[in-house]
């Protein structure tokens, strides 16, 4: 099974700045996704990270706010731009091989915006 590592594990950022989160998988995976888990709420899918092309965003999420890169089958980054306190959340990277395979999650990045 794939092991997913995220960096940083937590950060405190000032309003108006940006944070880039790195996601590294220990093996090649077909699919990678980014989720958000807001305080006291469940997980919401932000986007599918597509290798070598633009990410596919879910309703309510836009590329200007959440630019995503995926240069290869083991690595992806999520940037949360122009931070506001409402962006305080846990951001989770996930990945796997597709239908019939399990979806693995990283341990998340806890972002606090002051």
Partner 1 sequence: TQLLEQSPQFLSIQEGENLTVYCNSSSVFSSLQWYRQEPGEGPVLLVTVVTGGEVKKLKRLTFQFGDARKDSSLHITAAQPGDTGLYLCAGEGTTDSWGKLQFGAGTQVVVTP
- Given the rule CB under 8 A, which residues bind partner 1? 4, 31, 33, 41-45, 48, 58, 92, 94-96, 98-99, 102-108
Q: Name, in order, each residue with C-beta under 8 angstroms of 75's C-beta and a sequence gap of 6 or more.
A: 22, 23, 24, 25
Smallest distance, partner 1 to C-beta of residue 60, A = 10
Nearest-approach distance from CB 55 to partner 1, in angstroms: 13
| Residue number, 10 or 15, with CB nearest to partner 1 | 10
Q: How far is the CB of 100 from partner 1 (least distance, A)?
A: 9
d(CA 28, CA 18): 28
Kindly tell me which of 42 and 114 has the beta carbon lying closer to partner 1. Answer: 42
Alpha-carbon dihedral 98, 2, 22, 76, rounded to 10 degrees: -30
């Amino acid at each position: 099974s794939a092991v997913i590592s995220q960096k940083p594990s937590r950060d405190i950022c000032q309003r108006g700045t940006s944070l880039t989160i790195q996601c590294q998988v220990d093996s090649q995976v077909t699919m990678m996704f980014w989720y958000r888990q807001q305080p006291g709420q469940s997980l919401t899918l932000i986007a599918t990270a597509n290798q070598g092309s633009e990410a596919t965003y879910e309703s309510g999420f836009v590329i200007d706010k959440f630019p995503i890169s995926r240069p290869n089958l083991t690595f992806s980054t999520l940037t949360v731009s122009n931070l506001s306190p409402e962006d305080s959340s846990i951001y989770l990277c996930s990945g796997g091989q597709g239908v019939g395979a399990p979806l693995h999650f990283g341990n998340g990045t806890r972002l606090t915006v002051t």
